[in-house]
Structure 1
Amino acid sequence: MGADDRESIAQAPNIINDPDAIARKEAENALRQFDAVLDIIDEVARDGRPFKLRPSLILALHRLALADLSPYAGVFRPGSVSIGKSRHQPPPAHLVPSLIEEMCDYVNDHWQSEALHLCAYVMWRLNWIHPFTDGNGRTSRAMSYVVLCCRIGDRLPGRQTIPEAISNNKTPYYEALEAADEAFTKGPVDVSKLQELLKTYLAQQLKSVFEDALAEGGNNSSDRKFH
């Protein structure tokens, strides 16, 4: 976790206390979580079935992110939580299940909306609800990417995915989340700033396909960061 990262602050026991061991496990879990993301997208693309966002899917992705790190992996937080370096105070724990259901209903009811809007909405709303003791950002970025690709109907090509681009520099992402939070305190949902940021990252992801097609050999591999 970087020095500028927003961190969930909750009363939750740690399974691992060594910082290096935590970092290694987080990296392993992030790869497993992203493999699951790709499997979900491939299943939807292969079967051609309508995608439905369900709480069980969100919980499953969170379970992968926090496996062997938290006793609350794959379950909603049992108590209150705050977010370091953020003005937003997440709702009480007893409201989390119904708020998650409402978020899923919004996506399913508005499935014909623009793909990037649905992606931005899920990314913001999951962070706003902050349903877990930890791993909220990782799960929101993974889940929103599932929604984006499933709405489009297939995996998106590209060297660096949107979740990776965000993880490499989280400051613009945090600023966009804060803008959506601020707008929501004054009126209707407005995720336009986050949507524009995601549009930029999507353009970069797709541009890399063109660049790789033009390149004559070379090694484009790099360390991948998803959290």
Structure 2
Amino acid sequence: MELITDPQEKAQREAENGVRQFKEALEIIRSSIRKGDDAPQFALNQSIILRLQQKALEGIHPLAGTYRNSPVYIEKSEHFPPPHTDVPDLVAEMCSYINANWHMSAIHLAAYILWRMNWIHPFADGNGRTARVVSYVVLSVKLDSVLPGTPTIPDIIAADKRPYYNALEGADDSWKRGIIAVADMEAMLEDMLAQQLLSATQEAAI
């Protein structure tokens, strides 16, 4: 059940919430960038994820800021997300993977989040938006930077989702064989990061 039924009003609220969600992401990034070797290391947790999802769905969906309470299905996908009762534990496992593997590359961690959150599909709505922004937070914090340039990686993905969907399907296929393999997602994110950073140098040259 959605709180806004008028399509135009909903689209307007989604756009406004998208801005709010990204501002929240930037606040998390800025507060998590390490200021010296003795600064505490960032740890991804469920509170951060729920906070970002709430910003995207506030005023639109009654389950904003909470996990789904029923099965969900992904249109035009062969993947069937796990039961809603498993969601909290699966999200906790995902966070543990990121925190335990913080020594790995920023691109790998961001790619893993982008795939795994979509695989879990923890929310009744806003899964893609939230997965993309959480992935971006992890990427930025791992790189110790508020990344310059526009459009940002989440915006680049949203503009053409075909490479994103293909990378998700490839990772899903690997997971069916018990393998974590997100190479396609990593390649996609590397290219998009280069695009974003290049745009910053072009803007500076103008």
- TM-score class normalised by the smaller sequence: over 0.9
Aligned residue in 2 for 1:146: 137
Question: In the TM superposition, what whole-angstrom CA distance separates every residue of 1:181-210 from its partner, at most 9, and x where no partner exists?
Answer: 111112311111011000000010111122
Aligned residue in 1 for 2:58: 67
Distance 1:28 1:35 in 2: 11
Aligned residue in 1 for 2:32: 44
Code of the residue aligned with 1:42 in structure 2: it is R
**Identity percentage of aligned residues:** 47
Query: How many residues matched?
Result: 203
Question: In the TM superposition, what whole-angstrom CA distance separates every residue of 1:25-72 from its partner, at most 9, and x where no partner exists?
Answer: 000000000000111111112654310000011000000000000000
Aligned pairs for 1:13-28 within 5 A:
13-28=1-16
Aligned pairs for 1:73-152 within 5 A:
73-152=64-143
SS of match in other structure, 1:52: coil
Aligned residue in 2 for 1:171: 162
Can you give the 5+ residue segments of structure 2 that lack an aligned partner in the other structure? none
User: Which has the higher relative contact order, 1 or 2, with Cα contacts under 8 A spaced 6 or more apart?
Assistant: 1
Cα pair 2:34 2:41 within 8 Å, conserved: no
What is the TM-score of this pair, normalised by structure 2?
Answer: 0.96
Could you tell me how far 1:154 is from its partner in structure 2? 1.5
Aligned residue in 2 for 1:8: none
Aligned residue in 1 for 2:200: 209
**Alignment match of 1:56 (pick from 33, 44, 47):** 47
What is the TM-score of this pair, normalised by structure 1?
Answer: 0.87
Distance 1:207 1:185 in 2: 36
Aligned pairs for 1:188-207 within 5 A:
188-207=179-198
Q: CA RMSD in A?
A: 1.0
